[in-house]
Amino acid sequence: MTNLTRSDSLAALSPAPTEKLLNASLLLAPLAYIAVDSSYAVRGWDDGPTAAMHVVAAALYGLAAIKLVLVTSGRTQAVLLTVALLGIVGNAGVGQNSLHIALGGTDLFDADGPANVFKTLGFFFPLTFAIAAFALRRRTPAWWAPLLVVGAVLFPIAHVANISWLAVADAVIMLLALGTFTQVVRD
């Protein structure tokens, strides 16, 4: 048996840097989306600087999605991982499309054929959070999973229809759900 020093004991209680990053993303991603959606509301849905922020916010949401994947298990984890990765690509793709429009390019949402793949990927992003809510419903308080589902459902409604106030409200709902996750989840 080894004797642990006080610093060894504290190190064992401190989460690893990756876990800290993933936990922080649960707060930072929705905060970033509040900024992005507020900027889209003020500057328009085809604003270049906002679109660039959108791509970065999509990456932060990717980290948040990975955190949720890691706290699930079994087949659900495999499905959630697949949906999350497709959703990350779709979310970043929508930001990239907005950036492309801002620079004078064609809006892929107005295109057919191969652009339909792009449009479909965007729906995997909110689906990630709906699946996570279902998977984690028994490990969280009764209010948490429905709140995350509301955020997941409102996301495509707000963003497909370009309803700015609803997009900002949705980002706040996602902040309330994801931002509280590490405090409410049970092992």
How close are the terminal C-alpha atoms of the chain, in Å?
28
Give the Cα separation of 97 and 85 in Å (integer).
18
Q: What is the pLDDT along the chain (187 residues), one digit of tens a residue?
A: 555 555 555 555 678 999 999 999 999 999 999 999 999 999 999 999 999 999 999 999 999 999 999 999 999 999 999 999 999 999 999 999 999 999 999 998 889 888 888 789 999 999 999 999 999 999 999 999 999 999 999 999 999 999 999 999 999 999 999 999 999 999 8
Strands (E), the chain: none
